[in-house]
Structure 1
Amino acid sequence: MDHRLSRRHRIALSLGALILAVPGVASCGFNYATDRENTISNGTSDKSGTVDVLNAVIVSQDDGSGTFIATLSNNSATETIHMSSLDFGSNSTTQVAAFDPIEVKPHAVVNLTNGQGIKVSGDFKAGDFLSLTVGFDNGESADMKVHVVVADDEYEGYDNGTGSPAPAPTASAS
């Protein structure tokens, strides 16, 4: 008895194997989650300007007080840019400590966890999200909703901003 498969059987088996393999090979098609950037973190990122504000959070040891931290990444090849302001809006009671402009050189990164975090105070606690604007001296800004996180685990020791938050200056009536 001849155990060799006929040509017709070989073609049928090959075609069947191909049909079974297609779904597995085609599982990463167009516009799937595997095609998009995925940064798993508590922080909020804004990449709309020349300086990217990455993984921004407010680290809070105690309710009503915290430190704004983030990573600033300058995408300009030639321009040094300074983070010049942190603003919670005119309707907010959140106050910001005075800080010197934070320099970000061309194609450089500055991590504010290295003692450059900005102290803030107001009516917030861990778990809240606060709307804020990060301003730069080139006129650009990043509007963000930033998570307030507890100063433990990976954030332990980062509620270390300096200065005393004070109300934002208001225009005087003349």
Structure 2
Amino acid sequence: MQLRHLATGAAVIALTASLSSCGFDYATERDYTPGSGANSRVGTVDVLSAVVVSAEEGSGTFVASLSNNDADTEQTFTGVSGGQDATITAATFDPVAIAPGGLVNLAEPAANIVLEGDFTSGDFVPLAIDFGNGDRVMIEVPVVPDDVGYWAGMDASGSTTTTDADTEADAS
């Protein structure tokens, strides 16, 4: 009789241990890339480690890596703007080609995609990222300071602004 209780107890312990560690939708089964940028993997092009690098309130530079999941067709990054009623605009920039199955890092070489709007370092801003194939990716992107770590010196917003004094100096 004792052996029977012992066997039953051992079976219960074995089942409890295995069932308590089994299940579905564990964190180890989901994509997770630790980092300070935001990621979106919903379209043909993945937007990875997206941030706005900002040296001063109201302006910054959009930086991200763009991964083309289509192994046969080149994709093009054509625009970025404020999403969900955010008043964020981008200065004009040349479309960025992404080779079939390729990756483009907008930081190296610097694409200098300058944004202006109502944001400051520490905010999260909703952005709409547009591609030439018609895809639009909506993503909440952190605004990071221009003076720390990897992002130091990447804000091109100050270098693209020209004043009347600069124009007059160039004309001389």
One-letter code of the match for 2:116?
S
Partner of 1:120: 115
1: CA distance between counterparts of 2:71 and 2:57? 41
Would you tell me which structure has more helix in proportion to its own residues?
Answer: 2
| CA distance in structure 2 between the aligned counterparts of 1:35 and 1:28, rounded to whole angstroms | 12
How far did 1:93 drift?
4.1
> What pairs up with 1:86-165 in 2 under 5 angstroms?
86-88=80-82, 92-114=86-108, 115-151=110-146, 152-160=148-156, 163-164=160-161
C-alpha RMSD of matched pairs (Å): 2.5
* CA distance in structure 2 between the partners assigned to 1:164 and 1:138 by the alignment: 31
For structure 1, which segment, 28-37 or 62-71, has the greater mean C-alpha deviation from structure 2 after superposition?
28-37
**Matched residue of 1:48: which SS?**
coil
Q: TM-score, normalised by structure 1?
A: 0.77
Partner of 2:50: 56
SS state at 1:61 partner: strand
Shift of 1:90: 9.9
**Counterpart amino acid of residue 20 in structure 1:** I
* Percent identity of equivalent pairs: 39
- What aligned pairs does 1:6-85 form with structure 2 within 5 A after superposition? 9-26=2-19, 27-85=21-79
Rounded to whole Å, the distance in 2 between the matches of 1:95 and 1:10 is: 75
How far did residue 111 of structure 1 move?
1.2
Q: For the residues of structure 2 that align with 1:154 and 1:14, how far apart are their CA atoms?
A: 59
Q: 2:113 and 2:88 mapped to 1: Cα distance?
A: 12
Larger radius of gyration: 1
Q: Which amino acid aligns with 1:158?
A: M
Q: CA deviation at 1:104?
A: 0.5
Q: Structure 1: how far apart are the matches of 2:33 and 2:84?
A: 31
Q: Quickly say closer, same or farther: Cα 1:18–1:91, change in 2 above 3 A.
A: closer
Say which SS state the counterpart of residue 124 (structure 1) adopts: coil
Whichever residue aligns with residue 163 of structure 1, its letter is T
Q: Deviations over 1:109-130 (max 9, x none)?
A: 1111211241212221012122
Give the TM-score normalised by structure 2. 0.78
| 1:120 aligned counterpart, secondary structure | strand
